[in-house]
Amino acid sequence: MKEDADCALHFDMNDEAINAIDAYEKKIADKTAQLADYINLMAVYFVIQDYGYNVDLDIPDHYFDVGLTRIREIPAQIKERLGESDEANFWRDYALFIVLNSPVDEAVWIRYIQSGSTLVPLIAIGLHRSEGEFAAKTAELARSIANEDTCRTRYIKSILSSGRAMLD
């Protein structure tokens, strides 16, 4: 395996959360991270907030404790290094909503979707709007990640799958 360049993604794809976090954080510290690295890291930090996942993988408390702090910080780091990212902003707001029940502004998420900057907010709002534009965009989101296997895409696929089951 290539040193550092593919390490984080390799660990992420193999559901090695701690190794993935460490490798993504190293890429960020070394200023070699791309947008996908930041967003994948946010997704890993978000998923380890789930108690069942956390216990199953025996995640050390340090990673759990740091997770929400990093989720809050990463969008600003992205903005500083790469420019604004609607998907990163979504993951921050979504994680805080799911974990802490923080308020959200669905209108902002709808703007992200309608602008085409990211379809990921459909996991939060598209499933209960299963007709018309949102149905087509949800199908587009599913197609766009069909061949990917990171923590981020596994989570999205699980939500889309459970949402389709609820609608059937």
CA distance linking residue 152 with residue 112, whole number of Å: 18
Sequence spans of domains, the chain = 7-167
CA distance linking residue 7 with residue 92, whole number of Å: 24
53, 155, 103, 55: CA torsion to nearest 10: 0
pLDDT in tens, 61-111: 999 899 999 999 999 999 999 999 999 999 999 999 999 999 999 999 999
Identify the pLDDT of residue 4. Answer: 53
Identify the pLDDT of residue 55. Answer: 86
pLDDT in tens, 125-168: 866 665 667 888 999 999 999 999 999 999 999 999 886 544 44
21: its two tokens: 């976090």
CA distance linking residue 121 with residue 80, whole number of Å: 23
Whether residue 8 contacts residue 27, with contact meaning beta carbons closer than 8 Å, is answered with yes
pLDDT in tens, 37-57: 999 999 999 999 998 888 888
Whether residue 150 contacts residue 9, with contact meaning beta carbons closer than 8 Å, is answered with yes
CA distance linking residue 93 with residue 88, whole number of Å: 9
CA distance linking residue 16 with residue 141, whole number of Å: 25
